[in-house]
Each structure stands twice: as structure tokens, then as C-alpha cells.
């Protein structure tokens, strides 16, 4: 066996092993924090008391929850963001969500950059990946990415996986992930904070406006995908 084939075989084996370790580790962490997350979604008051009992570690655990939600992109992030506003208040909840989202995004970005499309195909079908191919050849990749992240309702966590396959710079990716997510995070944490203060009317108004904007955002996203499909041969 030649040296090149030996190196390639070991690289492939190391890549598969690394992905397997990553999945097992993430699953183990999800299992450990799964019960608090369920309380978070179903009974936010219980979760707030649980967070308070952990002190500074409560914030760290929550950041880990948000990061894992981004890594496992099929888990919706809105319940966590609403719960953050309920448990921590709008400002602190927003900061924690941004930090957690950034950390999770960087983990995904690094894995995809290292192991390529194999990581993406673990979580998403080829059809979903193909729906976002218009970003790969776009002349203004960063602008389009920023707009998609800015619009509530678009599949941002799916986008994080796909963007790792593009040539976007890491620093620009960090800025987009941090800044463009703010509008959707802020509306959720404000609504959650209103619930915590029992200002139910204001919370309903916030969630209703967010729902309308999200619906518009999804419509715009699907239009972009359809236009891309028509342009492809």
C-alpha cells in the first residue's frame, strides 16, 4: 500500500471517528440537560427556580442549552429564547441567547469546514441542502446570508450548516451570526419577559407581530429558493 493511500485511509477513519464522538458527546449532554429543557418549555416558572438555584452555573447551563439547540438544528430555538426572557429578563436573556447561538454556530461551522458535506448529511436530506445552493454561487454571499439571518422565520440553523460549505470568512460569519439574529431573539425575549411580569396583553401583541413577520420571512425565503430553481439548468 502506498503512503498516500495509507494517509487517506487514516484521514477518512479519523473523520468518521471524530463525527461519531461528536454525536455521542452531544447526545450525552442533551440527555443530561434534557429534563430542565422540558421544564423550560412546559413550566417556565419551575425552570426559573431551577436556574436561580444554580447561581452563576445557571447562566452557563443555559448557554450550553442554546448552543446544543443550534447544533441539533431540528430543535426549534424560539421556546428557549422565550424562556430566556422569562427566566433572565429581556436584556440578560438576549445576551445569553446570542452567546449560546454564537458558540453553537462556531462548533457547527468548524466541523463542516473540517469534515465537509458528510456532517451536513447527518442531519439534513440532500434535497434540503440543494435548496440552499444558490448561496454557494452568489456574488454577494455575505449580504444574502445576512438578510436571510435577519428575517424571522427563515431556517437559520440549517443555514449555519450550509454556510460552512461556502468560502465565507470566519470573522464575517461570526458577525453575521451574532448581529443578524438579534431581531428575532429580542422579540422572543421581550415576549418572554412580558409573560414573566404577567403582562399578558403586551406578550400576545409581541408574539402576534413576530408571527406575522415570521410568516412573511418564510414566504420571502421560499420565493428566493424557487427563483433559484428556475435559474438552474
Segment 63-90 shows an average pLDDT of 82
pLDDT of residue 92: 92
How many Å is the maximal CA-CA distance in the chain?
71
The mean of the pLDDT values for the chain is 75
Task: Give the model's confidence band at 123: pLDDT under 50 very low, under 70 low, under 90 confident, else very high.
Answer: low
Q: Which residue has the higher pLDDT, 21 or 212?
A: 212
Task: Give the model's confidence band at 22: pLDDT under 50 very low, under 70 low, under 90 confident, else very high.
Answer: low
pLDDT of residue 226: 64
pLDDT of residue 31: 61
pLDDT value at 14 more than 60: no
Count how many residues are written for the chain: 233
Segment 12-33 shows an average pLDDT of 59
Segment 105-129 shows an average pLDDT of 79
| Tens digits of residue pLDDT in 137-182 | 666 778 878 877 887 667 777 788 888 888 888 888 888 888 888 8
pLDDT value at 7 more than 50: no
Q: Which residue has the higher pLDDT, 137 or 200?
A: 200
Amino acid at each position: 500500500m502506498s503512503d498516500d493511500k495509507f494517509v487517506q485511509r487514516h484521514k477518512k477513519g479519523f473523520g468518521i471517528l471524530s463525527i461519531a464522538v461528536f454525536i455521542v458527546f452531544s447526545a450525552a449532554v442533551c440527555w443530561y440537560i434534557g429534563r430542565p429543557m422540558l421544564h423550560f418549555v412546559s413550566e417556565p416558572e419551575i425552570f426559573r427556580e431551577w436556574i436561580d438555584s444554580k447561581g452563576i452555573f445557571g447562566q452557563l447551563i443555559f448557554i450550553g442549552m442554546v448552543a446544543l439547540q443550534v447544533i441539533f438544528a431540528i430543535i426549534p430555538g424560539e421556546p428557549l429564547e422565550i424562556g430566556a426572557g422569562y427566566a433572565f429578563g429581556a436584556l440578560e436573556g438576549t445576551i445569553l441567547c446570542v452567546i449560546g447561538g454564537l458558540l453553537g454556530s462556531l462548533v457547527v461551522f468548524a466541523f463542516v469546514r473540517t469534515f465537509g458535506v458528510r456532517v451536513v448529511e447527518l442531519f439534513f436530506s440532500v434535497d434540503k441542502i440543494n435548496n440552499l445552493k444558490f448561496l454557494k454561487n452568489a456574488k454577494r454571499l455575505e449580504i444574502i446570508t445576512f438578510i436571510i439571518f435577519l428575517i424571522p422565520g427563515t431556517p437559520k440553523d440549517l443555514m449555519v450548516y450550509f454556510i460552512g460549505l461556502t468560502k465565507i470568512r470566519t470573522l464575517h460569519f461570526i458577525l453575521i451570526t451574532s448581529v443578524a439574529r438579534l431581531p428575532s431573539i429580542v422579540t422572543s425575549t421581550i415576549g418572554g419577559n412580558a409573560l414573566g411580569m404577567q403582562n399578558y396583553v403586551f406578550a400576545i401583541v409581541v408574539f402576534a407581530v413576530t408571527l406575522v413577520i415570521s410568516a412573511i420571512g418564510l414566504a420571502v425565503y421560499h420565493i428566493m429558493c424557487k427563483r433559484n430553481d428556475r435559474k438552474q439548468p
